[in-house]
Structures are given as C-alpha cells and as structure tokens.
Structure 1
Amino acid sequence: MSQIDELVERVERLLVRYEELQRTNALLEQQLAGMTAERDSLRSRLNAARARIDALLERLPEPLAVPDPSDKEAG
C-alpha cells in the first residue's frame, strides 16, 4: 500500500471517530440539559417545602416557661 493510501485510510478513520465523538457530545449535552432542568425543579420544590415548613413553624405556639425547681423563692 502506498503512503498516500495509508494516509487516506488514517484520515477516513479519523473522520469516522470525529463523527462518533460529535454524536456522543450531542447526547451528553442533551443529558446535561435534562439533569440541569431536573436540578432546577428539585431546587424549586425544596424552596417551596422550606417556605411551607417556615410557615408551619411560625404557627406553633411559643413554648411555656417551666419553672426551675432549683429556683426556690422564700417559702
């Protein structure tokens, strides 16, 4: 095989590999976009849950003061 033929074969293999890498990259970009959207959705749900918990905590009555038995007044 001549050097030109070998070079042509190598270039063709490189082009095939390049196309495969482009397809793989496109798939990875799609996955990344999906995961980013999912992360953003989960963050939003987390913030909403936090807000609901904070609202519930605000509705709780203040704790009653329990007298300390060691604090005996004159008696």
Structure 2
Amino acid sequence: MANSDTIDQIAERVDHLLLRHEELQKTNTLLSQQVQSLSLERDHLKSRLAAARARVDALIDRLPSAATSP
C-alpha cells in the first residue's frame, strides 16, 4: 500500500507539473507576441521621430543666419 501511495503522489505531482508547463508555455507565447508588438510600435515611433527631426532640420536650414541679419 505504501508503494501505491507513493506512486499516486508521484503521478499527482507529474500531472501538476504538466499543467504548470502548459500554463508557462501559453504565458511565454503571449509575452513573445507582446514583445513583437512593442518592437513594431518602437520601430514605428523611431521612424516618426526621424521624420520629425528631418522636418525640424529643414526648417532650421531655412532660417536666416545671424550673420546675414542687419
């Protein structure tokens, strides 16, 4: 009987570990998707920032310089 109890305890732990493993896999998948989404958002924001910088630089270039002002 003691042997049967031990086997039952081990089987119960294995079942618990398998469930935990499945939960962690799902969590990992969700986190990977979130990282990918945030990476795309970051890249988009970097692109917008570069475009804004280029526009600001173009505006600065169009300003009259201090040397040519009266």
Q: Which runs of 5+ in 2 are unaligned?
A: none
Hey, what's the Cα distance between the residues in 2 that align with 1:62 and 1:6? Answer: 83
SS at match of 1:37: helix
SS at match of 1:2: helix
Instruction: Report the Cα offset of residue 26 of structure 1.
Output: 0.3
User: Which is helix-richer, 1 or 2?
Assistant: 2
Matched, 1:13 2:33: no
Q: CA-atom RMSD, angstroms?
A: 1.1
Paired letter, 2:53 = R
Question: Normalising to structure 1: TM-score of the pair?
Answer: 0.82
1:47 is aligned, of 46, 50, 69, to 50
Aligned to 1:35: 38
Hey, what's the Cα distance between the residues in 1 that align with 2:36 and 2:13? Answer: 34
2:64 is aligned, of 45, 61, 64, to 61
Deviations 1:24-60 (A, max 9, x none): 0000000000000000000000000000000010001
Percent sequence identity over aligned pairs: 55
Instruction: Report the Cα offset of residue 62 of structure 1.
Output: 1.1
Q: Which runs of 5+ in 1 are unaligned?
A: 66-75
Hey, what's the Cα distance between the residues in 1 that align with 2:55 and 2:48? Answer: 11
